[in-house]
Amino acid sequence: MRRVGALFGVVLGVGGLVYLADRLTKTWALAALTENEPREFIGSLLRLRLIFNPGAAFSLGTQVTPLFTVIQAVVSVIVLYAALRVRSWPWALALGLVLGGAAGNLTDRLTRPPGFGLGHVVDFLELPNFPVFNIADSAIVAAAALVALLSVRNVPFRGGPGHG
């Protein structure tokens, strides 16, 4: 039972760190950047460009913002439920990344203009030929890559011999 508590703590800890990093960087971006005025950060590799995204990745679904709000809330609840059952450290890490990312963008949906459940997500990181994103988005993508790797390597969600 102690292991369940420790792994649940990993999920919450990683999720909390991602959420905090997302909130702090978005707060900074709102204070330091001007909308749609790009600023080079790491040469031409990474630019800072403040945008407000009503949609999902690649600004898809801009007309169904409330749906994304519901999806992010449901994902957060499902991750918390799964966190009570995870028995694998790598899977706990993946769940934490998803939780922090979903909660970070959900906070924008609930608190930012134009209103509750309709809020536009603050995005500010831009790679060449790639849509503008944020720390929460990065965590979700990292989690997806980790889940794919764990799945390919047959790492069980509920642990097992040789899997910590």
Pairing status of strand 39-42 against strand 121-126: unpaired
Q: Is 108 a catalytic residue?
A: no
Options 79, 99, 137, 147, the catalytic residue: 137
Burial class (CB in 10 A: 0-12, 13-18, 19+), 162: exposed
Can you read off the two tokens belonging to residue 156?
A: 């069980």
Options 65, 75, 94, 123, the catalytic residue: 123
Angle (CA) 44-50-55 rounded to 5° is: 110
Q: Is 123 a catalytic residue?
A: yes
Please identify every residue annotated as catalytic.
123, 137
